[in-house]
Structure 1
Amino acid sequence: MPATPYLLSFDHVGSPESGYITSTQLADNIPFVIKRVFWTQGTPPETTRGHHANMATEEVLVALTGSIKVLIDTGHARQEFELTHPQQGLYVPAMCWVELRFSEGATALCLTSTDYSKKDYIRDYAYFKKLTTHGAL
């Protein structure tokens, strides 16, 4: 059975008067060892990003600013999530097709379990469905 995407919360301290600090607190609530960190910004709201799955890479997505609508397809079920604040992340297991829509001015932070490898990406949805529904992994 494939792993299931889920929301997780990050530790944060502060106040409206002084601002907030949000932390993974030694990454205790991240379900993998973090190998890479990247962020995406400046995406027009009418653009959908993603359109891929990763063979091995697990991710945690965070909306640092703005909001991000995330569609995840495991090959067996589709789920929609909306990330609206930086104290919340979305765990995305390997072998999940992901599509993202950003609000105006949104910035996404991504923590991953692997370094970047072009070979890890599946960019053909029909091929992804074949792999996930026929057990061809």
Structure 2
Amino acid sequence: MAYLIDIPTFSDERGNLTVLDDKIPFQIKRLFYIYGVDNSARGGHRHHQTVQAAICIQGRCSIINDDGDKEERYELDEPRKCLILETKDWHVMTDFSADAILLVLASTNFDPADYIFTPYEHNS
């Protein structure tokens, strides 16, 4: 299941410094950021191999995650919060504020064959 980690942040009268050193539990192969999102949802997939770390470095957004057993909603509303998404985590990113910038760090390079777009089926 996805989980949140707190990234160390150092604050003083000059501002804030948030440091990722040794906090991401995988080697980073790719990074990208999502911004300027309208009312659309993003994502809607999981991966065969890729683990990801999502940080809303500005503004806020929500990530709805389903690991096949449990669905949970995460609010990313400060840049020290980092959501780790495992391969089994089918996720949708939604409710972006107008100023949101979502930074995503990935454990693999982009490969279209790594994506699984079919959501889990749950028996109610």
Match of 2:105 among 101, 107, 111: 111
Residue 91 of structure 2: aligned partner: 98
Residue 8 of structure 1: aligned partner: 5
Larger RCO: 1 or 2 (CA < 8 Å, sep 6+)? 2
Residue deviations 1:18-73 (CA, integer Å, cap 9, x gap): 11111112xx22111111111111001x2111111111100010001111111000
Contact map agreement 1:56 1:95 (CA 8 A) in 2: no
Calculate the TM-score normalised by the size of structure 1. Answer: 0.83
Residue 14 of structure 2: aligned partner: 18
Count of aligned pairs: 122
1:40-59, aligned counterparts within 5 Å? 40-44=34-38, 46-59=39-52
User: The residue matched to 2:72 in structure 1 has which SS?
Assistant: strand
Match of 1:61 among 45, 54, 60: 54
Matches of 2:65 and 2:48 in 1, distance apart?
A: 14
Give the aligned residue type for 2:52. Answer: E
Matches of 1:18 and 1:29 in 2, distance apart?
A: 24
Root-mean-square deviation (CA, aligned residues, Å) is 1.7
Structure having the higher Rg: 1
User: The residue matched to 1:119 in structure 2 has which SS?
Assistant: helix
Give the aligned residue type for 1:122. Answer: I
Calculate the TM-score normalised by the size of structure 2. Answer: 0.91
The gaps in structure 1 that reach 5 residues or longer are none
Percent of aligned positions with the same letter in both sequences? 30
User: The residue matched to 2:113 in structure 1 has which SS?
Assistant: helix
